Chain A
Amino acid sequence: MPTEPPTPPGSTSPEDGVPNAEAHHAWRAFAYLLSGPLLYGGIGWLLDSWLGTQFLLPVGIVGGMALSLYLIWFRYGTD
Chain B
Amino acid sequence: MSIVALAAESEFEAPGTSTFWQPLIGDGAFAITRASVVILLSVALISWLLLAGTKKMSVVPSRKQAATEVTYDIVRNSVARDIIGSRDFLKFLPMLFSMFVLILVNNLFGIIPPIQYPTMSRLGFPLVLALIVFVVFHVVGFKKHGFIGYWKSLVPSGLPAWIVPLIFFLELVTDLFTRPVTLALRLFGNMFAGHILLVLFITGGEYMLVNGGFGLKIAGAVSFVMAFVMTLFELLVEFLQAYIIVLLSALYIAGALADEH
Contact = CB atoms under 8 A, between A and B. Distances in A.
Contacts of B44: none
B167 A67 contact: yes
B87 A35 contact: no
Contact of A28 (B86, B87, B261): B261
- Give chain A's interface secondary structure class: helix
B87 A24 contact: no
A67 B159 contact: no
Contacts of B159: 74
Given A28-B255, A34-B182, A68 B170 contact: yes
Contact of A14 (B86, B173, B179): B86
Contacts, number: 75
Interface string B58-77: 00000000000000000000
Interface residues of B, number: 30
B258 interface: yes
Contact of A13 (B85, B163, B166, B248): B85
Contacts of A34: 174, 178, 182
A31 B87 contact: no
A71 B170 contact: yes
A23 B83 CA distance: 9
Task: For chain A, give the interface size range.
Answer: 20 to 34
Contact of A39 (B163, B170, B251): B170
B169 interface: yes
Given A19-B254, A24-B255, A5 B173 contact: no
A11 B167 contact: no
Contacts of A39: 169-170, 173
Given A19-B83, A20-B82, A71-B167, A38 B173 contact: yes
Interface string A56-79: 000000001001101100110000
11 contacts: A2-B87, A7-B86, A13-B86, A14-B86, A19-B85, A20-B83, A23-B247, A24-B258, A34-B174, A39-B173, A67-B166
The 10 closest A-B pairs by CB, nearest first: A14-B85, A35-B174, A18-B258, A39-B173, A35-B178, A35-B173, A19-B85, A14-B87, A31-B178, A31-B174
